[in-house]
Amino acid sequence: MLTDPAYWSLFFLSMAAATLLPGGSELALVALLADGTRPAWALVAVATLGNVLGSLINWVLGRWLRRFVGRRWFPVTAAQLTRAEGVFTRYGAWTLLFAWVPVIGDPLTVAAGTLGVKLRVFLPLVTLGKALRYVVLAGLVGGVLG
């Protein structure tokens, strides 16, 4: 498994997709699942691990780089961050279960860092949400192709 470049590609694609960089990991996962040469559980685990690591990078960005918000090069706008912080204030850390949702997920994980959400809260919620997304996707692919 560690020598298979497909796993590494999926890992890094999933990690990049969860950071503030544009991209999606779902297409890569679907392609590898459709190939059928690797176990679905391993692909889901690798995609989840990479995606959670990307979200952790966002958390660190939020935690340590808040002073740069508003600068042209900073990947989250002040408006996105304010909106995400408002969601946090209203609904709490449970919103991290939705860190996988396009457009809002990345700002949510950055906001978690800026608001000082503890890693012991952040990691389980983000991991659960992202893993469930990949499990559902794998189930759908298996149902269509199986």
Average pLDDT score over the chain:
89
What is the pLDDT at residue 74? 75
Residue 115 has pLDDT above 90, yes or no: no
| Nearest one of 96, 108, 107, 91 to 133, comparing CA atoms | 96
pTM, two decimal places: 0.86
Angstrom CA distances, 66 to 45, 83, 91, 104, 146, stand at 31, 15, 22, 18, 46
Per-residue model confidence as pLDDT tens digits over 63-92: 887 788 778 877 777 888 788 788 888 899
